[in-house]
Amino acid sequence: MPAPFPNRKPRALFVLSPWAFDNIYGPELRGEIAQRVDVLADPIAGDKVINHPDLLAKTDLILSGWGGPRLDANLLALLPDLRAVFYGAGSIRGIVSDAFWTRAIPIVSAWAANAVPVSEYTLATILLSLKRFWTYAGEVKRLGHYPGTQPVAGGFGSTVGLVSLGMIGRRVAELLRPFDVKVIAYDPHFAPADAAGLGVELVSLDEVFRRSDVVSLHTPWLPETEGLVTGAHFESMKPHATFINTARGAVVREPEMIAALQRRTDLHAVLDVTHPEPPSAGSPLYSLPNVTLTPHIAGAVGPECRRLGRYMIEELDRWLVGQPLRWQVSKERAQTMA
Point out the catalytic residue in the list 132, 211, 233, 248.
248
For 34, half-sphere exposure in the C-beta direction (CA atoms, 13 angstrom radius) is 10
Point out the catalytic residue in the list 207, 277, 304, 314.
277
Point out the catalytic residue in the list 11, 36, 275, 296.
296
Instruction: Determine the Cα–Cα distance for residues 127 and 43; give it in Å rounded to an integer.
Output: 41
DSSP for residue 229: B
Q: Is 224 helix (H, G, I), strand (E, B) or coil?
A: coil
Q: Is residue 296 flagged as an active site residue?
A: yes
The values of phi and psi at residue 167, to 5°, are -60, -45
Give the list of residues 6+ apart from residue 325 with CB closer than 8 angstroms, or none: 106, 108, 315, 318, 319
Q: Is residue 235 flagged as an active site residue?
A: no
Instruction: Determine the Cα–Cα distance for residues 162 and 333; give it in Å rounded to an integer.
Output: 21
Q: Is residue 277 flagged as an active site residue?
A: yes
One-letter amino acid for residue 152 of the chain: V
Q: Which helix (H) or strand (E) holds 39?
A: strand 38-39
Asked if 187 contacts 225 with a C-beta cutoff of 8 angstroms, the reply is: no
Which are the catalytic amino acids? 248, 277, 296
